[in-house]
Amino acid sequence: MDEFGLIQRHFQDLTSARAGVVLGIGDDAALLQVPAGYELVVSTDTLVAGRHFPHQTAPEAVGWKALAVNLSDLAAMAAEPRWFTLALSLPEADEAWLSGFAGGLRALAEPHRVALVGGDTTRGSLAITITVLGLVPAGQAIRRSGARVGDLVCVTGTLGDAALALRRLDAAAQGDADLMLRERLDRPTPRLAAGLALRGLASAALDLSDGLAGDLRHLCAASGLGAELDPEALPQSPAFAELSRELSGDQRFELQAQGGDDYELCVCLPPARLAEAQARLAALNLPLTVVGLMQAEAGLRLRYADGQSSPITATGYRHF
């Protein structure tokens, strides 16, 4: 099968008739129409086999995750996804793998009504690059640079599930809790609805891809501030709590703050807006937990219940 037949068979139906697609797959480039009064939000991520997902990951999960990590970036900026492009490097044109991969893409793209509008395929090591494009009303995107001294540092959902799943990939016993953690690793949920709900409330935000400690440093740098975290406040899922019981507190903190692959949102909120923000997310059945405080002093610190503090030296996951 040649490149064009591969695209036609597995990806053509991902180009929906969504408003704004003037010309999708099939020409040299796509034509997209941005409505008046909106700004275009663009994000790109590459996933490489063996680094961003285990080699044995099901192709459906690879397709889902490749799109999810990009949608998570749009969620952090309170943008609504519209279109995406796909660049796919494959060692061979494996029909069964491609069918599963396209099915995973479709399973996430369809409910969010995001249309595939172009891309490329080539022979090489397995790697997937997706660029997602979305819209946000002009001037209403949530940026990393808007945090203020006294803002509460909050996170959606729970932290550490994917990192613990990776740690337990080769565990002899794999029960229901392990399956839940593996689902969080393979099929993260982009918090798009939460991002939209927090528009107008959050002063700053970013998605948690490389771990809370590392990603929060980026937000602090953009805002010219520092932050302190309460290590006891980091939210745990029941599965994480069950399977991390034998770990030390430092080990649990490492998984939750440095492990990465959470794809939750970290948001900064003025204290007066916390109740409304939590109520909006409660309507989505999603918890919003206060885990720290933005401060004028640069750097990240842990603040303990007895009032003592210590610097956080961890930087989160690093690619180089």
pLDDT mean for each 10 residues of the chain (320 residues): 60 66 80 94 93 89 96 98 94 89 94 90 92 97 98 98 93 87 96 98 97 96 97 97 94 94 98 98 98 96 85 67
Angle at CA 153, nearest 5°, toward 234 and 276? Answer: 105
Fold observed for domain 3-137 = 60s Ribosomal Protein L30; Chain: A; (3.30.1330)
Q: What is 144-311's CATH topology?
A: Phosphoribosyl-aminoimidazole Synthetase; Chain A, domain 2 (3.90.650)
> Rounded to an integer, what distance in angstroms lies between the CA atom of residue 245 and that of residue 284?
29
Binding-site residues for substrate, in ranges, read 52, 261, 317
- The predicted pLDDT at position 1 comes to 55
Q: In the beta sheet, which residues pair with residue 115?
A: 83
CB 197 within 8 A of CB 287: no
pLDDT at residue number 28: 80
> Distance between CA atoms of 59 and 101, rounded to whole angstroms?
5
Report the first-to-last Cα separation within the chain, whole angstroms: 36
C-alpha distances out from residue 3 to 6, 87, 176, Å: 5, 12, 40
**Bridging pattern class, strands 226-229 and 309-311:** unpaired
Measured distance CA(206)–CA(125) in Å, rounded: 30
Distance of CA 320 to the CA centre of its chain: 20
- Rounded to two decimals, the pTM is 0.91
pLDDT at residue 8, as a whole number: 62
Task: Read off the tokens for 136.
Answer: 């946000």
State residue 317's pLDDT score: 58
Q: Cite the residue boundaries of each domain of the chain with CATH code 3.30.1330.10.
A: 3-137
In order, the DSSP letters of the chain are: --HHHHHHHHTGGGS---TTEEE-BTBSS-EE-PPTTEEEEEEEEEEEBTTTB-TT--HHHHHHHHHHHHHHHHHHTT-EEEEEEEEEEESS--HHHHHHHHHHHHHHHHHHT-EEEEEEEEESSSEEEEEEEEEEETT----GGG--TTPEEEEES-SSHHHHHHHTTT-S---HHHHHHHHHHHS----HHHHHHHTTT-SEEEE-SS-HHHHHHHHHHHHT-EEEE-TT-S---HHHHHHTTTS-HHHHHHHHHHS-----EEEEE-GGGHHHHHHHHHTTT--EEEEEEEESSSEEEEE-TTS-EEE---------
Mark the binding-site residues, compressed into ranges. Answer: 28, 43-45, 52, 73, 119-120, 144, 207, 209-210, 261, 317
Listed residue (274, 241, 277) closest to 256, CA to CA: 241
Binding residues for Mg(2+): 28, 43-45, 73, 120, 207, 210
| Inter-residue contact 140 to 77 (CB < 8 Å) | no
Q: What is the pLDDT of residue 92?
A: 87
**pLDDT, position 18:** 62
d(CA 201, CA 272): 10
Residue list for the binding site for ATP:
119-120, 144, 209
Question: Range(s) for CATH 3.90.650.10 in the chain?
Answer: 144-311
Q: What is the pLDDT of residue 253?
A: 94
Residue 247 confidence (pLDDT): 95
